[in-house]
Amino acid sequence: MSCGKSRSQSACRLSKTIKSTFDHDHQKGSIDRRSANYHPNIWDFDFIQSLKSDYKGELYEKQRNKLVESVRHILLNDQNMGSLAKFELIEALQRLGIRYFFEEEIEKVLMNGHEIITSKEGLHVAALRFKLLRQQGYRVSPEDVFGVFKDTNSYCFKESLCEDAKGMLSLYEAAHFALEGEDILEEAKAFTTKHLKEPYIKSTPTIDRHLAKLMNHSLELPLRWRTPRVEARWYIEACVDDDSLHPDVLQLAKLNFNMVQAAQQEELKELSRWWKNLDLASHVSFARDRLVENYFWGLGIIPDHRYGCCRIGIAKLISFTTPIDDIYDIYGSLDELELFTSVIESWDIKAMEKLPNYMKLCFLALYNTINEISYFLLKKHGLDLVYYLKEMWAGICKSYLVEARWYHNKYTPSLEEYLENGFISITAPLILLHTYVLLQEDISVEALEYLTTHPKIARWSAMIVRLYNDLATSTDELGRGDVHKSIQCYMHEKGVTEEIARDHIKNLIMEAWKRLNKEQIENSLWPKALIDAAINFARAAQLMYQDGDGYGVSNGSTKSWVLELLAEPLIL
């Protein structure tokens, strides 16, 4: 596996194999095959290779380092900063995408503020501290923090809180870190959502232009659910109106965004060369060709610029899950799918001789790539991880096969049965296991074994991805004859309308987020980077599917986000 240089020789050999073995017309002639009519790839190879940035080299590194030291001094040594100002600065660093420069300093501030909870502090500082501590994995009781803001008679939140717009916004954001059974945070969410939407709040003298912009942004989607890199771009541009932010903080955020963009352009170029040399897409033309969108998924899951190797690895994996998914969903006959699944399970190059040629191509490309990743990991860690990786691929193909059997047998499962299979077929458990081995410096065999059993951290992340996907894609997929999704399963099971079913699925997403929040606090087995990846996978799905199928139909919002993150630098 390459992490900085394009390793194309094996891909070229595979390309020659593909060209010499492919017999598409013969395979197509005897079986009635469906077509999804996906639009073609919208990103030209030459365009990707032409991406360039001036924000590279020692000069910019020195500028960034100088700004980092300036901000570090502000965070730790500014005697004029009280607790609230420090919490607000930490929040800004997070949203601006530059928190990772100051992890130790932030941890020190939060540790000092962990026990300081008084009944005299205002709503804004209480809610902001609560959110930052929960986000960091601290156990904080919402009753202890927010009970004081309730009326002693009605035990409802005090109406006078509505006069504090900034505090209401912070409480709204904090409420999205709720765990199961934390009714006070559910009440807080309902209370703040209702009042923040009222016109009179936004017209009060305490609301400046910047705060009004933040309120509208959060009501559209809370920060907990937003993808970090996309949010960083938006927030940097929004901070033009924020007079309270130190100029060095904003300058660091802008410069760092452009420098990271320059590095990620190189990652995408490397990935694009690999995909071109592999030459798989032209031979499985029925499938979605979405290399740039696959990298965008990787960027959503792993936004930290330090983990480019993992980001590239994730993009490669999705570049295989997509055509294989399309084989199971629309192109392969049931007999072919049964055979392909057995070959994946065997992980035997000789077994692929039984396959039709288009399946041989997919299997051989996958086989070589996973073995290359395993070789890379063996050199790095001294561990042979082929078994774990191939087991996860066998698991996902078996889940695809279950759905194919449902379709061919005209069977509609219960919602529970559908989801028990669907959280695997959405690929999140597979992606997270690969993320673990590509991120972790000290790989634990115990953790690997546990990941293959689909632990809660993977299950709840996957459930959110699955349900967001279903809300956005089920109508189109049914139109081309795909298997019923969660919405239709619930409609069939309960005899309800689509509107009621969609509301139920949205409620399931809310509950899954609570469970994922709990895993962030209670899960000590996993490294923070993997927990962050699980949360970011759910966020990336929300982004990809918020305006419909942003992956299958990627020439709308997805295209705009890709250009903003990978092609258009900020003006310094």
Residue 7 lies in a domain: no
Q: Of 20-24, 59-63, 417-421, 504-508, where does mean pLDDT reach its minimum?
A: 20-24
Mean pLDDT in residue range 23-40: 66
Residues 263 and 237 in one domain: no
229 and 322 belong to one structural domain: no
Average pLDDT, the chain: 91
* Average pLDDT, integer, range 145-173: 94
Q: Which residue has the higher pLDDT, 12 or 185?
A: 185
pLDDT of residue 82 exceeding 90: no
Residue 197 falls within a domain, yes or no?
A: yes
Same domain as 317, residue 246: no
Looking at the structure, tell me whether residues 332 and 247 fall in a common domain: no
201-259 confidence digits (pLDDT tens): 655 666 788 999 999 999 999 999 999 999 999 999 999 888 889 999 999 999 999 99
pLDDT for res 478: 63
Spatial contact of 349 and 41, defined as CB atoms under 8 Å apart: no
Percent of the chain at pLDDT > 90 equals 81
Asked, for residue 51, whether it belongs to a domain, the answer is no
Q: Using alpha carbons, list the distances in angstroms from residue 339 to 58, 221, 353, 390.
A: 54, 44, 11, 16
pLDDT score of 26: 41
Residue 275 has pLDDT above 90, yes or no: yes
Has residue 58 been placed in a domain?
Answer: no
Name which of 25-39, 93-107, 120-134, 412-426 the model is least confident about.
25-39
Predicted confidence at residue 23, as pLDDT, reads 43
What is the pLDDT confidence band of residue 6, given thresholds at 50, 70 and 90? very low
Q: Which residues pair with 150 in a beta bridge?
A: 157
pLDDT at 116: 58
390-397 mean pLDDT: 98
pLDDT value of residue 118: 55
CATH number of the domain where residue 149 is located: 1.50.10.130
Task: For residues 348 and 315, state if they share a domain.
Answer: yes
- Identify the CATH number of the domain in which residue 505 sits: 1.10.600.10
Q: What is the mean pLDDT of residues 127-153?
A: 94
pLDDT for the residue numbered 501: 98
Q: Are residues 335 and 234 in the same domain?
A: no
Query: pLDDT band at residue 525, thresholds of 50, 70 and 90?
Result: confident
The mean pLDDT of 143-158, rounded to a whole number, is 93
Residue type present at position 310: C
Least trusted range by pLDDT, from 312-321, 327-336, 524-533? 524-533
Same domain, 270 and 247: no
CA nearest neighbour of 329 among 152, 482, 451: 482
- The dihedral through the CA atoms of 421, 423, 426, 431 has a sign that is negative
Relative orientation angle of helices 228-238 and 247-278, to the nearest 10 degrees:
140
Tokens of 480: 């081309």
Considering the domain architecture, whether residues 316 and 219 belong to the same structural domain is answered as no
**Which whole number is the average pLDDT over 183-204?**
86
Please report which confidence band the pLDDT of residue 121 belongs to, taking 50, 70 and 90 as the band edges.
confident
Could you tell me the pLDDT band of residue 17, with boundaries at 50, 70 and 90?
very low
What type of residue sits at position 403?
Answer: E
Give residue-wise pLDDT tens across range 422-456: 999 999 999 999 999 999 989 988 889 999 999 99
pTM of the predicted protein model: 0.93
Domain assignment of residue 188, yes or no: yes
Q: Which two three-digit tokens encode residue 123?
A: 């709503």
Lowest-confidence pick of 190-199, 250-259, 494-503 = 190-199
**Amino acid at site 469:** N
Structural domain contains residue 210? yes
CB 464 within 8 A of CB 538: yes
Q: Kindly state whether residues 165 and 265 are assigned to the same domain.
A: no
Choice between 198 and 354, residue whose per-residue pLDDT is larger: 354
- The number of domains in the chain is 2
More reliable by pLDDT, 9 or 193:
193
Q: Indicate if 249 and 260 belong to the same structural domain.
A: no
Sequence-ordered list of residues with C-beta below 8 angstroms from that of 6, at least 6 positions apart, any chain: 270, 273, 274
Quote the pLDDT of residue 560.
97
pLDDT tens per residue, range 538-550 = 999 999 999 999 9
Range of the domain at 177: 79-253
Count Cα atoms within 13 angstroms, Cβ side, for 377: 26
Is 340 in a helix, a strand, or coil?
helix
pLDDT of 4 strictly over 80: no
Q: Residues 434, 456: contact at Cβ < 8 Å?
A: no
539 within some domain: yes
- Give the residue among 289, 230, 216, 233 at the shortest CA–CA distance from 44: 289
The confidence score (pLDDT) of residue 20 equals 36
Q: State yes or no: pLDDT of 503 exceeds 90.
A: yes
Q: Which of 282, 408, 264 is nearest to 336 (CA)?
A: 408
Question: Do 352 and 207 share a structural domain?
Answer: no
pLDDT of residue 12: 44
Q: Provide the pLDDT confidence category of residue 30 given band limits of 50, 70 and 90.
A: low
The pLDDT of residue 5: 46
- In this structure, the answer to whether residues 260 and 189 fall within a common structural domain is no
The pLDDT assigned to 419 comes to 98
Check pLDDT > 70 for residue 14: no
DSSP 8-state assignment for residue 354: G
Judge whether 36 lies within some domain. Answer: no
